[in-house]
A = this chain, B = another copy of it.
Amino acid sequence: MRLFLGLDPGGSKVDAVLMDESGVVRGWGVGGPANYNSAEVVAQSYEDALSGALGPSPPSELWVGAVFMSQRVPEWFQARGIVAHFHHANEVEAGFSAALEDWGVLVLAGTGSFVHARTRDGQDLHLGGFGPVLGDEGSAYDVGLRGLRAALRSAWPGARPTALARAIPAALGRESAWELVWPFQMHQLGRRDVASLAPTVDEQARAGDAVALAVLQEAAVGLAEIIGVALDAVGLRGAGCPLIGTGGLAQGSPLYWSMLAAEALRIDATLRPLVPPVRPAVGAAFCAMRAAGALVTPELRDRVVETQRAFSRAVVAAPTA
Interface residues on chain A, number (Cβ under 8 Å): 24
Q: Which B residues touch A131, using CB under 8 A?
A: 181, 184-185
Knowing A134-B149, A145-B133, say if A229 contacts B127 (CB, 8 Å): no
With most chain B CB atoms within 10 A of its CB, the pick from A135, A187, A232 is A135
B229 & A184 in contact (Cβ 8 Å cutoff): no
A158 touching B36 in the complex, CB below 8 Å, given contacts A132-B185, A187-B187: no
- Given A134-B149, A134-B181, A158-B232, 8 additional A-B pairs, CB 8 A: A125-B157, A127-B156, A131-B185, A134-B148, A134-B184, A156-B229, A157-B232, A159-B229
> Closest residue of chain B to A35, judged by CB?
B185
Assembly CA distance A132 to B185 (angstroms): 7
**Measuring CB to CB, which residues of chain A are less than 8 angstroms from any residue of chain B?**
36, 125, 127, 130-135, 145, 148-149, 152, 156-159, 181, 184-185, 187, 229, 232-233
> Please, which residues of chain B bring their CB within 8 A of the CB of A233?
156-158
Tell me how many chains of this kind the complex includes.
Answer: 2
Q: Across the interface, which residues of B come within 8 angstroms of A127, CB to CB?
A: 156
A187 neighbours in B (Cβ, 8 Å)? 187
Contacts of A232 in B (CB 8 A): 157-158
Return the contact of A135 from the options B133, B152, B158 (Cβ within 8 A).
B152
In the complex, what's the smallest C-beta–C-beta distance from A11 to chain B, in angstroms? Answer: 11
B157 x A130 contact (CB < 8 A)? no
Q: Are B157 and A229 closer than 8 Å at their CB atoms?
A: yes
Nearest 5 A/B pairs, CB to CB: A157-B233, A131-B185, A130-B152, A158-B232, A133-B133
